[in-house]
Amino acid sequence: MANNANLDKVGCEYGRNLKEMLNAFKEDYTSKIFAYKEKLNALDERIENLEEWKKMVDERIVKFEVKLAWLMGVSATVGSLIGTTVAMLIRHLF
């Protein structure tokens, strides 16, 4: 009988130790999960900022392309007028 009482104490002690270990494990991983959630939220914010920056850069590129196309059109028109004028002058003079 005394032997059984000792085994019960050992079993209870083992159970308490196991429960403490499981609680420590749970707390550790719970804190890690919250830390990872915070990191994910921070990454989401950074991704949103990068998407806004990308939109801004895309708008600037489109504006630059429009200005460049306009400038190329104007220079082609001016070049064509100058070329035509020079050709007509040469034809008229000679």
- What confidence tens digit (pLDDT) does each residue in 32-81 have? 999 999 999 999 999 999 999 999 999 999 999 999 999 999 999 999 99
The torsion of the CA quartet 85, 89, 90, 91, rounded to 10 degrees, works out to 100
Side chain identity at 36, as an amino acid letter? Y
* Residue 7 scores a pLDDT above 70: no
Side chain identity at 23, as an amino acid letter? N
Side chain identity at 86, as an amino acid letter? V
Burial class (CB in 10 A: 0-12, 13-18, 19+), 5: exposed
**Which pLDDT score is estimated for 17?**
84
Q: Which two tokens stand for residue 10?
A: 């050992």
Distance of CA 69 to the CA centre of its chain: 32
Global pTM reads 0.51
Separation in Å, CA 87 to CA 1, 73, 77, 81? 124, 21, 15, 10
- Residue 30: which pLDDT band, with cuts at 50, 70 and 90? very high
